Structure 1
């Protein structure tokens, strides 16, 4: 992953964070990345399944079709709350604890959703699922960011985000092979979403807690043991002198952490970041949650519509790959803005598409650029905040974004009835452009330590 020659040996008297930042990418980094990434993929699988379930429910429960938008939006309402509360808890009780609990919560709730006997019950359970999903994503990216070597931190976070494409592809495969098999196919699909409940146990026992968080809580022995675990993985000898202690930093209250997001010089970053998160969520979930349904409504049968969705989904992976390279070459903000402009062009082309090859081609372009933008967005978000605010900042940015993901699935059906697919996707393009402009205002900490102050000049 990293072609630089890095010894990983820190000078005498180096702090734990300096020792950690000087390490090359080791098997412990890989273990953390994959462990967190599998949880991320399971999240994506759950969210992706909803789009296929909604399309199937339109056939199973046709009398309730007007309520199906609430199935998606209830989950996103839960995600908005979960992201906001989860971020606060991550700065209070730890990243790993929150990560494991949220996986358990949404895994169990998804399994129970398979037993839903009405749309109302399904909506209620999707809200609970959303609580877990919303908290897990920003917490996972924060945890991995705090361990990643600075010179490749952005690339690692984009790779973490690329697990989303893996999970969404699994959802598309389930949608293609499982859901159409019977009237109860959607129930079997949701039952598979209970897998995260088992994986949560693995997460809790296997992943390290953030060294920065441990030091802020005065848990020096645990912090030192974690750094040594990573140093040993890199073959770095133990420090010649006893490491210095770090005094516990009293944790600010939740209101203080929230107000801290708008203190100088962070205020401008928070506002720009929230705009990006809101606009990207609006366009992404407005498009992809309804994509299978839009294809079926356009005249494709259920299996064919799901098949096209699967093909379109596969284009997410090269989008992440290119983004992973560019975030370290061009920087976070330029890469993010570029992919957002590409998303706007792709959304417009999709809205104008009529022939099958045009639908698939424009859809693949939209997947490529939109998910590449997501990778860059997750890379830049934790970098904008200091350790005591990092979980809160990432969580609340995601929470604000989820407000848009609540709104979009509700208004898309109304827009499709009153206007056309072209109008809807041009609207998405406008939101992508607004996000691109806001992205250029974000600071770029490429290659810098997370603890370096923001340069607002």
Structure 2
């Protein structure tokens, strides 16, 4: 459990550092909105490849072996970002980082799904998924501290090296991990393209739709929210950190609440409730003239809905597929959805000139959560499903 929590924390921190150093890079490098969005989208698109490839490979040779590789890849590639001296170098580093970013969550989530009891799978995934909020908070805190202590041209680089030592500790923990099931037997009947065979293709499409909507809403927020606080709301670095901490604090509650509700009342009810709540709160925070106190409270509510929904998404994607296809299925749906969601940050960046950051966020997050609601109608209820095996096609 701790190796998964630690890995998810570094995963979140490493990829989210970009959003927090973005206001600094906009000034130092003179990045346009479209170029800044491309750097965000590149990691997401690379994550789609890394997640599917790692998930498929883990179906064949086991989750633990892949998890040892992903944590090392993630730490080293994140450090590469801090060495970039030009836009093109940073873009390449973000692509390499994105591969490890997608692989770590995809394989880690399936491993958790295999060790968790079916009746508590939502709560188990929710508890470990809260590591994303921990990593997000670490990214905000370390960036604020580095930019306060160091010159801007050094501070933004320093933050990308912070995860190296924790990664060594997590790697050592994973050297003592054992597989939850024997994957050697499954590998003889499973195939990476089994998720596209007739019995599975419908679930693959619906799972991808769910992941695209969930990621689309989150990444539009995560990429541009810090910049919106600093640029449009004219907050200082310290003030923006407080408001962002409220959003992250709300997400902690959301992860646990979503996991509990999904185990008790079902995945579909939870998805619909959290997506609707996300739409309501993002429209309120981006369209209404709120007082500082009201904005702070609604920021926490936005974090609860926008991040909490992931606890249910992870459980659904694990339960949609038989065990010998779960790595490939979750890896493909979750990470292709994340890759497609790269359109969100790009769309926000291209709309800033005409709509402003806040209104652009509100529009594209609403569209994304509408996709989640559509997917919820189409998906079967999977609460309490056993991760059984079947004669996997192809």
With normalisation by structure 2, the TM-score equals 0.92
Summarize the Cα distance change of 1:390–1:80 in structure 2 as closer, same or farther, 3 Å threshold.
Answer: same
1:317 to 235, 243, 252: 252
In the alignment, which residue of structure 2 is the partner of 1:284?
218
2:15 is matched with 47
In terms of fraction of residues, the more helix-rich structure is 2
* Distance change >3 Å, CA 334–CA 440, structure 1 → 2: farther
- In the alignment, which residue of structure 2 is the partner of 1:23? none
1:28 corresponds in structure 2 to none
Higher RCO structure, 1 or 2 (CA under 8 Å, sep 6+): 2
The aligned residue for residue 407 of structure 1 is 343
For 2:286 and 2:48, the matched residues in 1 are separated by: 28
* Pairs within 5 Å for 1:126-141: 126-141=94-109
Cα separation, 1, equivalents of 2:33 and 2:286:
23
Q: Deviations over 1:288-324 (max 9, x none)?
A: 1111111111122333223322222111111112112
Other-structure match for 1:304: 239
Deviation, structure 1 residue 378? 0.7
Runs of 4+, deviation exceeding 6 Å: none
| CA distance, structure 2, for counterparts of residue 438 and residue 216 of structure 1 | 29
Q: Secondary structure at the match of 2:281?
A: helix
**SS of equivalent residue, structure 2 residue 379:** coil
For the Cα contact (< 8 Å) 1:106–1:133, is it kept in 2?
yes
Structure 2 CA distance, aligned partners of 1:345 and 1:439? 18
Deviation digits for residues 343-389 of structure 1, max 9, x if unmatched? 11111112113333343233221110111111110111111111121
- Secondary structure of 2:84's counterpart equals coil
Quick one: which of 98, 102, 106 aligns to 2:70? 102
Measure the CA separation in 2 of the matches of 1:362 and 1:77: 30
CA deviation vs aligned residue, 1:99-144 (integer Å, no higher than 9, x gap): 1111111110111221211222111111101000101111111011
Deviation at 1:66, TM superposition (A): 5.1
State the distance in 1 between where 2:254 and 2:47 align.
25
Distance 1:279 1:131 in 2: 21
User: What is the Cα-based RMSD across aligned positions, in Å?
Assistant: 2.0
**d(CA) in 1 for partners of 2:49, 2:195:** 14
Question: After superposition, what is the alpha-carbon deviation per residue over 1:184-232, rounded to whole angstroms, capped at 9, x for unaligned?
Answer: 1111111113345414522431222131525435xxxxxxxxxxxxxxx
- Distance, in Å, in 2 between the alignment partners of 1:64 and 1:432 is 27
Q: Which runs of 5 or more residues in structure 2 are unaligned?
A: none
1:69-88 equivalences under 5 Å are 69-88=37-56
2:331 to 395, 412, 436: 395
Which residue of structure 1 aligns with residue 203 of structure 2?
Answer: 269
CA contact (8 A) 2:347 2:364 kept: no
Q: 1:303 and 1:58, CA in 2 relative to 1: closer, same or farther beyond 3 A?
A: farther
Query: Are 1:59 and 2:8 counterparts?
Result: no
1:427 CA displacement? 3.0
Go from structure 1 to structure 2 and tell me whether the alpha carbon gap of 1:104 and 1:200 turns closer, same or farther (over 3 Å shift).
farther
How many Å separate the matches in 2 of 1:398 and 1:306? 29
Q: Deviations over 1:40-80 (max 9, x none)?
A: 11111112211101122122222666522222122112111
Relative to structure 1, the CA distance from residue 210 to residue 174 in structure 2 (aligned partners, 3 Å threshold; closer, same or farther) is same
2:144 aligned with 1:176: yes
- Report matched runs for 1:299-378 at 5 Å: 299-354=234-289, 355-378=291-314
Relative to structure 1, is the Cα distance of residues 423 and 189 closer, same or farther in structure 2, using a 3 angstrom cutoff?
Answer: closer
Inter-partner Cα distance in structure 2 for 1:365 and 1:95: 35
Task: Note if 1:254 corresponds to 2:254.
Answer: no
Asked if the contact 1:178/1:188 (under 8 Å) is kept, the reply is yes
User: Secondary structure at the residue paired with 1:381?
Assistant: helix
Hey, what does 1:185 align to over in structure 2? 155
Q: When the two structures are aligned, how many residues end up with a matched partner?
A: 385
CA shift for structure 1 position 150: 1.8
Matches of 1:450 and 1:253 in 2, distance apart? 17
Question: Relative to structure 1, is the Cα distance of residues 195 and 394 closer, same or farther in structure 2, using a 3 angstrom cutoff?
Answer: farther
TM-score, structure 1 length as denominator?
Answer: 0.79
Rounded to whole Å, the distance in 2 between the matches of 1:323 and 1:281 is 16
Q: Aligned with 2:387: secondary structure?
A: coil
